[in-house]
Amino acid sequence: MERTNKTTKPRENKQIVYGLRPVLEAIASGQQIEKVLLQNGLNSSLLGELRSRMHERDIPYQYVPVEKLNKMTTGNHQGVVATIGAVKYHSFMELVERDDAPRLVVLLDHITDVRNMGAIARTAECTGVGALVVPGSGSAALNEDAIKTSSGALLRLPVCREQNLKTVVNLARQCGYQVVASTEKGAVHYRDVDFTRPTLLILGNEETGISPELLKLSDVRAQLPIVGEVASLNVSVAAGVMMYEALEQRRPR
C-alpha cells in the first residue's frame, strides 16, 4: 500500500505540500512549485516571508476559501497549500546565454486554454522548437490535462516561466534574436519572415491577442492571410503554421 504523507494528495494522486513552514522549505529546496493557494484572510508572521520567496521564484499564488484547501488535504494546512508541478522550469536567461542556445523560442503571451497550451507544446516539440516561455501568472496551468494534450511534449521541451515578459523580449533581442509577433494586425506575410535567424516567436491570448507592450517591442509583425469572414485563427493553429514554416526554412536543401 502506498503511504500517504504531507506531499501526496490521495484523491487525484497529485503532489502537494501544505503548511507554512513546509511550503517555505519546499521553495527553498528548489522544488518545482506550480502554484500556492492561500486562505482568504490569512494572517501569519511568516506570510511576508512566504510572499517574498514566491516573488523571488516567480511562483503564482491565489487566495481561496478555506473549504477549497480542506478538500485538498485533511492535514493542518495552516491556510497554505502548494501544488508541485510535473513540468521542470528553466531560466530563460541561462537558456539564451548558452553556447548551444535554441534558435527558435516560442513565447506564449497569456494563453489561457489548457488544450491550446498542450497542442502548441506538442507541435513545438515536433517541429524542433528549442523552448517555450510562459508568464508566471495569468496563463493556463501546465497540469496533467496540458501534459496529456501535449502527448508528453511538456515533459520533454524546456519551459521557462518568467514573471516579466517584456524583460524576456528585451533580453532575447540583446542576445541576437529577432522578435516575431504572430498577429492579424501584421503587415508582413508569414512566409516572408526569415526564420533561419535566431527567432523569438510571440503568440497571443485567445481573446485579446498579443499585449500592446510586446507588440511594440517586436521586430516583425507576421500575418497569416485569411479570406473567410472569421477574423482570426485559433492560436494553436496559427502556432502550427508558423512553426512548420520555420522548420521548412531550416531544412537542409
**Can you give the pLDDT at residue 141?**
83
With beta carbons less than 8 A apart as the criterion, state whether 242 and 184 touch. Answer: no
What digits encode the pLDDT tens for the residues 145-160? 888 999 999 999 999 9
Share of the chain above pLDDT 70, in %: 94
- No. of helices (H) and no. of strands (E), the chain: 10, 13
**Can you give the pLDDT at residue 50?**
94
What digits encode the pLDDT tens for the residues 29-42? 777 788 899 999 99
**Can you give the pLDDT at residue 122?**
96
Is residue 65 pLDDT above 70, yes or no? yes
In order, the DSSP letters of 198-226 are -EEEEE-BTTTBS-HHHHHH-SEEEE---
Asked which of 112-116, 143-147, 160-164, 221-225 is least confident by mean pLDDT, the reply is 143-147
**Can you give the pLDDT at residue 185?**
82
What digits encode the pLDDT tens for the residues 66-115? 999 999 999 999 999 998 878 888 999 999 999 999 999 999 999 999 99
Binned at pLDDT 50, 70 and 90, residue 14 comes out as low
* Cell (9 digits) for 213: 507592450
Quickly list H helices, the chain: 20-28, 47-56, 66-72, 92-96, 114-126, 144-149, 153-156, 165-174, 212-217, 235-250
Q: What domains are defined for the chain? A: 8-84 (3.30.1330.30), 89-250 (3.40.1280.10)
Phi, psi of 104 (to 5 degrees): -135, 120
Determine the Cα–Cα distance for residues 244 and 139; give it in Å rounded to an integer.
24
Binned at pLDDT 50, 70 and 90, residue 4 comes out as very low
Share of the chain above pLDDT 90, in %: 66
DSSP state of 97: T
